[in-house]
Chains A and B, each alone.
Chain A
Amino acid sequence: MSVVFAFLLVTVSFGLRVRSGRALGILPFGGQILSVQYCPCSWNLAITVGPPVGGVFTYEPGFSTVRAFYQIFRPGPWVLGTYNPGGSCLTFCSWCCMPANFPIGTIDVVGTSM
């Protein structure tokens, strides 16, 4: 019984997505986009940003705001913005969603180079 409960708990937790309030976007980040990964089970993107203040951040369609010059979907451009802690990038396995990357935050607002 406990095994079944653990199974359900972990499976469900993989599907959880952190959606913080917009007002919390106070943590700055900035650097060059190193890679962009589509996360098909969480319907978002994991964007890896290099120095000076980088990490892996998720772009959430409908939540993250991108400003000029809007180039956030390919490696190369430089970005400056704010993020909220938490986020997930999930991919499919045969029977559930599971992490494909480990973001440190979800993009709130970001401006980019061309």
Chain B
Amino acid sequence: MNFKTIFCVVLFAIPLISLADSESFTRTLKLGMRGEDVRSLQIFLNADVETRVAETGVGSNGNETDYFGPATKRALIKFQEKYRAEILTPIGLVSGTGIFGAKTRAKALTLKSSSQTSAVIQASNNDVIVMFPSQYSGTPGTMITISGAGFTDDNTVYFGPAYAVVKAVSSNKQTITLKVPSVPKGTYSLYVKNSQGESNKDAFFVVTDGVTPEPKIESIGPSQAARGARVIIKGSGFTLNGNTIRGGTNIFEDISSADGASLSFVVPPSTLTATSSESGKKVFLPLWVYVVNENGVSNGKSFDLEL
């Protein structure tokens, strides 16, 4: 093999090597561990109906966490046993271990990269999907439009399992416009059922009473923050407990506000870290922050995250 042949082999192998290195699955994961790679693993497992971490609630599609708990372990065992011939058999095992080791990571990366390089992913025509409502809070009677896919001319729109709007029509299969029903004040999971099935349940809507002021963000600082920085939100209508901060790169739940006028969170140091060295050039991403609590949903304010 001459020099030119060796050079060409190395040259064309570089992109493949770099792709493998760039994936987030680089360490062994097991019960009790935390990290963004755990969240990535849960998202990966939830993409297959046979290996979902949970059907509803914590760990379900759209509610993935950074904690490797028993549900993640069970889902991972299902994954390992689904691909037993490639993961378990070569190392002499029959049952899944629930440990995200080298063999399991290799199979996951193979599946993940094959889905990433496919041109466009197409879902089944029968999938019912709720993407988002036109607004996330309002009093009963407020008109809202839900965007998504798979809607029919006879949908039932649920506000939690106990309340529903029946015979909600979609003229274009992609939107449903309806009035918020007369239900008690509170936060409801928003989902749709029709003849084609049931949608995802990660959308939400806060029904307000029109009397209690909704949270409001007056300012957010600093205006530019790096990873690991504490961000302070000033405003009004924050509750003593139970505020959720939707912070651009993370969701922070059950945050307290002693004075009802300030909240804070720390940008996780692991946010959008790269696998290689820093470029030296500063990149700023505008992160929009919202506060959600039992009284409603705030306006959005942004700060710039420095990468």
Q: Report which A residues bind B (CB closer than 8 A).
A: 3, 6-7, 10, 29-32, 34-41, 43-45, 48-56, 61, 66, 68-71, 73-76, 78-80, 91-93, 98-102, 104, 112-114
A-B contact pairs, 16 of them (CB 8 A): A6-B8, A10-B11, A31-B123, A35-B43, A37-B22, A40-B279, A43-B281, A43-B283, A55-B118, A69-B246, A75-B64, A91-B18, A91-B22, A93-B276, A104-B119, A112-B132
Q: Which residues of B contact A31 (CB under 8 A)?
A: 121, 123
Instruction: Find out whether the CB atom of A76 lies under 8 angstroms from the CB atom of B62.
Output: yes
**Within the complex, which residue of B285, B287, B297 is in contact with A114, where a contact is CB–CB below 8 Å?**
B297
Knowing A55-B120, A70-B286 are in contact, say whether A40-B15 is a contact too (CB < 8 A): no
Q: How many A-B residue pairs have CB under 8 A?
A: 156
Q: Which of B71-79, B161-169, B267-275 contacts A (4 or more CB under 8 A)?
A: B267-275
Instruction: Judge whether A113 and B203 touch: CB under 8 Å.
Output: yes
Contacting residue for B272 out of A45, A56, A80, CB 8 A? A45
Docked CA distance A78–B243 (Å): 22
B18 interface neighbour in A34, A75, A99, Cβ under 8 Å: A99
Leading 6 A-B pairs by shortest Cβ distance: A51-B123, A113-B132, A70-B288, A78-B131, A52-B123, A100-B22
- The answer to whether A92 and B279 touch (CB under 8 A), given A38-B274, A113-B132, A114-B297, is yes
Cβ-defined contact, A101 with B119, below 8 A: no
Mark each residue of chain B from 214 to 251: 1 if its CB lies under 8 Å from any CB of chain A, else 0. 00000000000000000000000000000000101111
> What CA separation (Å) do A100 and B28 show in the bound complex?
22
